[in-house]
Amino acid sequence: MQKRKLGNSNLEVSAIGLGCMGMSVGNGPAGDKQEMISFIRAAVERGVTFFDTAQVYGPFTNEELVGEALAPFQDQVVIGTKFGHDFGPDGKQPPKGLNSRPEYIKRIVEGSLTRLRVETTDLFYQHRVDPNVPIEEVAGAVKELIQEGKVKHFGLDENIGAVAIGLMSDDLGEIESAASKITVQGARYPEELERMTGL
């Protein structure tokens, strides 16, 4: 399996990653848990090292699935998860819009770490831009989580034109060029997920 580095971060991942959302939500009923665990582990055996999930997938059940499946391989894989939806005061309600306030990010990361069965998440993305919170404040909160050892790398959503911190203008040009050649069919996210998040 070929490898890729994300931006200038030296975070190396397999050229092919596995997005895990559809195993729990969005493509009809959730897959059988044991079958999905076997599928994820088979991907590791074939050289896949990059796995993507998010708090909102389920919500929360996809992180739990990925955490259980990858627990034996933590030193071999990179797990990216995403934040940015508001799950209420205790962080457990169905999402009600967006929330990237620094204090909320610092609180909500704890649930992701528990569900993923890790002490540090490899890549922490902002899932949706919160128009009420300047990106500098979001980045500052994640920087503190990096300093505390809870996050290794910070990623930004495609809606603000970047994949990961540290991309150079040449990198962005290559991404834009490649993206312009992709034929998109259907919605960006399944209708069920769009309804659930209100976005």
Burial 53-78 (b: 16+ CB within 10 A, else e): bbbbbbbbbbbbbbbbbbeeeeeebb
Q: Kindly report the number of other CB atoms within 10 A of residue 21's CB atom.
A: 19
- Verify whether residue 57 is a known catalytic residue: yes
Q: How far apart are CA 26 and CA 23, in angstroms?
A: 8
Contact between 65 and 23 (Cβ < 8 Å): yes
Phi, psi at residue 99, to the nearest 5°? Answer: -160, 105
By annotation, the residues acting in catalysis are: 57
